[in-house]
Amino acid sequence: MIYGMDSSIYNKYDWCDIVKRSTGQILDCRNDNKNKYDLCDIARSGASLVLNDYQFNKYDLSDIGGACEESNNVLHLIDNGDKNKYDLCDIGKTGAYIYSSDEVRYNKYDLSDIARSCCDNNGLLIFQDFGQLNKYDLSDIGRAGGRIEIKCERNKYDTSDILGSMR
């Protein structure tokens, strides 16, 4: 279940208490103004978090991802193009789920590196295909461990080649 963080609850200890009482929560923190320390505490208490890549720098996002990983939860990071490939690979090493698309990032080598970095650490690159990459590029990303979500019209042979290549 995904919940937005209620802005009327300012105290991180209240959020930690709420999270400890109900398991398996995913908190959407994209519209919240909590700092990295508050989010790390909330993550350690047992919540997965959803963040945009522009909300924090790569070091803070890695710390938040590490706090999620300590409590066997996941940082769900929305890639808006603010971070480069190396930053996303570092964040992916914390086991984060990184959501990207060909509207933001379209270099197959960068995407394959990010997918490998995530998959090697129990994370995942979820890539939404809107038709800007060809089937061979998408197959390379799938072989690197990325999950491809096809959001455009492709013929059935292209689709079977792309999906058949995913590990």
pLDDT digit string (tens) for 83-122?
999 999 999 999 999 999 988 887 889 999 999 999 999 9
- What confidence score (pLDDT) does residue 2 get? 46
Name the burial class of residue 89, with classes exposed (0-12), middle (13-18) and buried (19+) by CB atoms within 10 angstroms of its CB.
buried
Question: Is residue 137's pLDDT more than 80?
Answer: yes
* Residue 126 near residue 149 (C-beta atoms within 8 A): yes
- What confidence score (pLDDT) does residue 124 get? 93
Count of beta carbons in the 10 Å neighbourhood of residue 166: 16
Give the angle subtended at the CA of 22 by the CAs of 27 and 124, to the nearest 5°. Answer: 45
Q: Which two tokens stand for residue 130?
A: 């809107």
pLDDT band at 1 (very low <50, low <70, confident <90, very high): very low
Greater confidence, 148 or 30? Answer: 148
pLDDT band at 8 (very low <50, low <70, confident <90, very high): very low
Provide CB contacts within 8 A for 75, sequence distance 6+.
Answer: 43, 48, 49, 51, 61, 64, 65, 68, 69, 91, 94, 95, 96, 97
pLDDT digit string (tens) for 31-75?
777 889 988 988 888 888 889 899 999 999 999 999 999 988 899
- What confidence score (pLDDT) does residue 47 get? 81
* Residue 63 near residue 90 (C-beta atoms within 8 A): no
Q: Rounded to 5, what percent of the chain is helix, strand, coil?
A: 40, 20, 40
- What confidence score (pLDDT) does residue 97 get? 94
